[in-house]
């Protein structure tokens, strides 16, 4: 279906996103509600298949009956130009199978979270008397928030229907098939529970419990071999969680959980401390007492044998071989013998009459011209007899290919059929070699439409299938069903080509908030060429995506380049270092000596010597320095010392870019120098 086509005048096809056994799935856009939708369209070759049509309609009916947050919602069901289609909720994510392939083994806690959603959805289906019958990771979708959606109720059957209808066909994937289904029995709700147990096993181990070279070998293992113990390969899984798997996948349905709710309740408590080391689960059927059967008596065995013995015919009765009667031998059936002789005599007389007629005709034939008989499409031997009967002689034989006359048959004669010739003339035959063999070429990489036109002229029947390819251009041939160099007859040959649809287109997610690991997983899933760079960010937490080169919502194909920028958190400011050189002056203390009273009484003659004298003292100054920068607080003492003379000091500062420093100098408790808002 072409992109841009509208269904029902409302749903516009965006691109093809997948194919199933009987339907193709497209990403569409609801033009009225302006939202993406998934559109499942019944394949064209199933349009006239009543069984496929009934199954497709049953899927729509089953899904519309189930309204649940973990079941893909159905919005619309309709038909246009003979095409049946279902419009469903579009899930932007992947299926659980691919999720396991990418993530590997899932932790017990997350596995329980996933299974809780699946069980809740299946429980609703069972309450509505609907059995899914094809539970497998491929039918379980998971979005970016680990929300689960179950899809594909195409082979789900109402219990009321299965109670009166049974099939010998095994439906669903064999890796998740219950023993009773593998034996051809009717599926029940406990068959779904068995499949759920296998899904839980695969979540925890990353692999399915049973695998083999063929579907039959896997099916046999489901009802012949015991379920593998997951703790043997993964002992870190608690016994209580393994018991959930063992009970869900018990061979006998009676030993399994009665309902999905019961299994859900068991899962909810299996990681509780008191249950971690509980005893391994043992099915009740294995614990029942073994009954010893009493051997049959010899008399009973003899009677049974006599009742089942094949009796041969008595030796006296022998089958007589069939013989042809020879002349002179007596036979039990005389009448039959006489009747055979009558036919023989009649045949001899008839041949004699015919021979006489031709002899008479030949002897009395005039010397007029003969006509070349129509020997076309006869084999060579028959043509020779026909020519001789006409009084002619077989001449040269040549061979050539013919698309109309089968091999070894006469194409034409020379002279031509109906031509007048003399009696005894030689007639040449042209014998057919059949249709000329056509040597196939290597058409891989060539444009399909051109090859189709050429081969149809040769008489080939051409079939086409298609798939996405990142290596072969759209419209070119990826592979052919018959090898180059093979010699075939075009009219008898059907040649199939696998044609490229080009790179599959996807819709880019908004990767905002993704971690580097999540981005790498996403790029690996879709084959993107990823480039990761890092940058500072004041708004995006370290380790998360800041920006992406392909914007969310844009289309891309496998192999496209994707660049993302990952945050390394806010950038730390640069530290700036600088210094200031300062001279601290020394201040000598002044000392005053007052004149004593006794001295004053002696007169004024000694006034100069006895007067108060001002003199300097050599006591040191006490210096205290305070610094305010990235490493020091202005309230804390940076340096403290004494000086007896002027002192030159250098103060070193470290500040963050955009901030400032300050200092204060005290001499004997008095501030003599200070500064603030210092920068480099």
Cα radius of gyration (the chain): 51
Task: Identify the pLDDT of residue 313.
Answer: 38
Domain boundaries, the chain: 6-89, 94-283, 372-432, 438-500, 505-567, 575-595+612-678
At residue 21 the predicted structure's pLDDT band, cuts being 50, 70 and 90, is low
Report the pLDDT averaged over residues 397-421.
88
Task: Name the nearest CA neighbour of 162 among 180, 174, 139, 176.
Answer: 180
pLDDT tens profile 127-181:
988 888 889 999 999 988 889 999 876 544 434 343 333 333 344 478 999 999 8
**Candidate from 365-369, 650-654, 664-668 with smallest mean pLDDT:** 365-369
At residue 217 the predicted structure's pLDDT band, cuts being 50, 70 and 90, is confident
Residue 299: its H or E element: helix 298-307
Q: Is 50 annotated as a binding residue?
A: no
Residue 314 has pLDDT above 50, yes or no: no
Question: How much of the chain exceeds pLDDT 90, in percent?
Answer: 44
Select the CATH number that applies to the domain covering 505-567 from these four: 3.60.15.10, 3.30.10.20, 3.30.565.10, 3.90.1720.10: 3.30.10.20
d(CA 351, CA 363): 18
Tell me how many degrees the CA angle 413-418-421 measures, rounded to the nearest 5.
80
d(CA 554, CA 508): 5
CA 113 to each of CA 5, 117, 245, 264: distance values in angstroms, whole numbers, following the listed order: 40, 7, 15, 10
Centre a 10 Å sphere on the Cβ of residue 85 and count the other Cβ atoms it contains.
Answer: 24
515 neighbors 482 (Cβ within 8 angstroms)? no
pTM value > 0.75: no
Report the pLDDT averaged over residues 316-327.
36
Task: Name the nearest CA neighbour of 132 among 163, 155, 166.
Answer: 155
Residues facing residue 399 across a β-bridge: 431
Residue 115 has pLDDT above 90, yes or no: yes
d(CA 170, CA 8): 36
d(CA 97, CA 104): 10
Q: Which residues contact 594 (CB under 8 A, 6 or more apart)?
A: 612
Structure tokens at 436: 């000329």
Task: Identify the pLDDT of residue 310.
Answer: 34
Who has greater pLDDT, 246 or 601? Answer: 246
523 neighbors 531 (Cβ within 8 angstroms)? no
Report the pLDDT averaged over residues 313-341.
41
Task: Identify the pLDDT of residue 22.
Answer: 72
Report the pLDDT averaged over residues 56-78.
79
**Candidate from 2-6, 295-299, 417-421 with smallest mean pLDDT:** 295-299
Task: Name the nearest CA neighbour of 397 among 375, 371, 419.
Answer: 375
> Over the range 381-391, which residues count as b (16 or more CB within 10 Å of their CB) and which as e?
eebbebbeebb
Structure tokens at 295: 């051997």
d(CA 456, CA 469): 26
Task: Name the nearest CA neighbour of 52 among 42, 38, 62.
Answer: 42
Task: Identify the pLDDT of residue 162.
Answer: 38
**Candidate from 43-47, 270-274, 366-370, 459-463 with smallest mean pLDDT:** 366-370
CATH class of 438-500: alpha beta
Domain 6-89 falls in which CATH fold? Phosphorylase Kinase; domain 1 (3.30.200)
Centre a 10 Å sphere on the Cβ of residue 415 and count the other Cβ atoms it contains.
Answer: 16
Which DSSP letter does residue 211 get? -
Structure tokens at 365: 């034939």
Task: Identify the pLDDT of residue 344.
Answer: 57
Report the pLDDT averaged over residues 18-38.
86
pLDDT tens profile 605-640:
444 444 444 455 678 999 999 999 989 999 999 999
Task: Identify the pLDDT of residue 38.
Answer: 93
Residue 532 has pLDDT above 70, yes or no: yes
Give the SS3 label for residue 647.
strand
Handedness of CA 498, 499, 503, 509 (dihedral sign): negative
Average pLDDT over all residues of the chain:
81
d(CA 174, CA 209): 12
Residue 675 has pLDDT above 70, yes or no: yes
State residue 624 phi and psi, 5-degree precision: -130, 130
CATH number at 94-283: 1.10.510.10
Catalytic annotation, residues: 134
pLDDT tens profile 492-526:
888 999 999 888 888 999 999 899 999 999 999 98
d(CA 281, CA 276): 13
Task: Identify the pLDDT of residue 228.
Answer: 94
At residue 582 the predicted structure's pLDDT band, cuts being 50, 70 and 90, is very high
d(CA 448, CA 452): 6
257 neighbors 202 (Cβ within 8 angstroms)? no
Give the SS3 label for residue 205.
helix
Task: Identify the pLDDT of residue 354.
Answer: 63
- Judge if 94-283 and 575-595+612-678 fold alike in CATH terms: no
Who has greater pLDDT, 171 or 380? Answer: 380
112 neighbors 200 (Cβ within 8 angstroms)? no
Task: Identify the pLDDT of residue 451.
Answer: 93
Task: Identify the pLDDT of residue 355.
Answer: 57
Residue with tokens 């990761």: 532
At residue 93 the predicted structure's pLDDT band, cuts being 50, 70 and 90, is confident
Task: Name the nearest CA neighbour of 133 among 204, 62, 218.
Answer: 62
Task: Identify the pLDDT of residue 308.
Answer: 39
Select the CATH number that applies to the domain covering 575-595+612-678 from these four: 3.40.50.300, 3.40.1480.10, 2.60.40.2560, 2.60.260.20: 2.60.40.2560
Residue 12 has pLDDT above 50, yes or no: yes
CATH number at 372-432: 3.30.10.20
């Amino acid at each position: 279906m072409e992109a841009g086509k509208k269904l029902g005048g409302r749903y516009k096809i965006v691109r093809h996103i997948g194919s199933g056994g009987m339907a193709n799935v497209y990403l569409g856009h609801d033009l009225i509600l302006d939202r993406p939708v998934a559109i499942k369209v019944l394949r064209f070759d199933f349009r006239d298949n009543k069984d496929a049509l009934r199954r497709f309609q049953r899927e729509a009916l089953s899904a519309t009956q189930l309204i649940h947050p973990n079941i893909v919602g159905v919005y619309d069901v309709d038909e246009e130009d003979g095409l049946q289609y279902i419009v469903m909720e579009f899930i932007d994510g992947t299926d659980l199978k691919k999720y396991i392939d990418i993530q590997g083994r899932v932790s017990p806690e997350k596995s329980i979270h996933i299974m809780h959603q699946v069980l809740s959805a299946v429980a609703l289906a069972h309450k509505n008397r609907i059995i899914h019958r094809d539970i497998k990771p491929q039918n379980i979708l998971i979005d970016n928030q680990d929300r689960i959606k179950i899809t594909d109720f195409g082979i789900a059957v109402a219990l009321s229907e299965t109670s009166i209808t049974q099939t010998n066909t095994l439906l669903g994937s064999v890796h998740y098939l219950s023993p009773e289904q593998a034996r051809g029995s009717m599926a029940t709700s406990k068959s779904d529970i068995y499949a759920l147990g296998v899904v839980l096993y695969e979540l925890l181990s990353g692999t399915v419990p049973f695998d083999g070279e063929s579907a039959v070998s896997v099916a046999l293992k489901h009802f012949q071999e015991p379920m593998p113990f997951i703790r043997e390969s993964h002992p870190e899984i608690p016994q209580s969680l393994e018991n959930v798997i063992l009970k869900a996948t018990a061979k006998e349905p009676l030993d399994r959980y009665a309902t999905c709710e019961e299994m859900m309740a068991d899962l909810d408590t299996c990681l509780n401390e008191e249950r971690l080391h509980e005893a391994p689960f043992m099915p009740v059927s294995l614990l029942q007492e073994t009954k010893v059967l009493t051997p049959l008596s010899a008399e009973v065995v003899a009677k049974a044998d006599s009742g089942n013995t094949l009796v041969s015919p008595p030796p006296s009765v022998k089958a007589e071989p069939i013989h042809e009667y020879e002349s002179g031998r007596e036979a039990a059936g005389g009448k039959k013998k006489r009747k055979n002789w009558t036919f023989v005599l009649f045949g001899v007389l008839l041949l004699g009459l015919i021979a006489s007629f031709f002899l008479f005709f030949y002897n009395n034939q005039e010397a007029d011209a003969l006509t070349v008989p129509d020997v076309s499409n006869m084999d060579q031997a028959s043509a020779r007899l026909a020519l001789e009967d006409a009084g002619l002689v077989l001449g040269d034989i040549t061979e050539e290919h013919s698309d109309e006359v089968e091999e070894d048959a006469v194409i034409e004669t020379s002279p031509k059929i109906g031509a007048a010739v003399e009696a005894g003339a030689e007639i040449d035959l042209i014998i057919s070699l059949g249709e000329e063999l056509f040597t196939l070429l290597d058409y891989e990489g060539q444009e399909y439409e051109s090859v189709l036109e050429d081969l149809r002229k040769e008489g080939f029947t051409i079939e086409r299938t298609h798939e996405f390819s990142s290596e072969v251009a759209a419209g070119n041939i990826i592979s052919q069903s018959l090898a180059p160099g093979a010699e075939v007859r075009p009219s008898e040959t059907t040649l199939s080509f696998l044609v490229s649809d080009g790179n599959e287109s996807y819709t880019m997610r908004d990767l905002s908030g993704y971690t580097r690991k999540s981005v790498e997983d996403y790029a690996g899933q879709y084959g993107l060429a990823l480039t990761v760079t890092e940058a500072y960010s004041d708004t995006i937490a370290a380790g998360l995506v800041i920006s992406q080169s392909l914007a969310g919502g844009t289309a891309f194909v496998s192999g496209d380049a994707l660049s993302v920028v990952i945050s390394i958190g806010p950038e730390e400011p640069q530290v700036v270092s600088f210094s200031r050189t300062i001279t601290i002056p020394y201040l000598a203390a002044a000392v005053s000596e007052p004149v004593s009273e006794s001295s004053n009484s002696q007169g004024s003659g000694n006034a100069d010597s006895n007067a108060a004298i001002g003199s300097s003292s050599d006591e040191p100054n006490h210096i205290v320095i305070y610094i305010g920068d990235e490493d020091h607080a202005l309230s804390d003492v940076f340096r403290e010392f004494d000086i007896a003379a002027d002192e030159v000091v250098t103060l070193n500062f470290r500040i963050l870019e955009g901030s400032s420093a300050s200092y204060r100098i005290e001499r004997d408790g008095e501030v003599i120098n200070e500064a603030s808002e210092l920068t480099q």
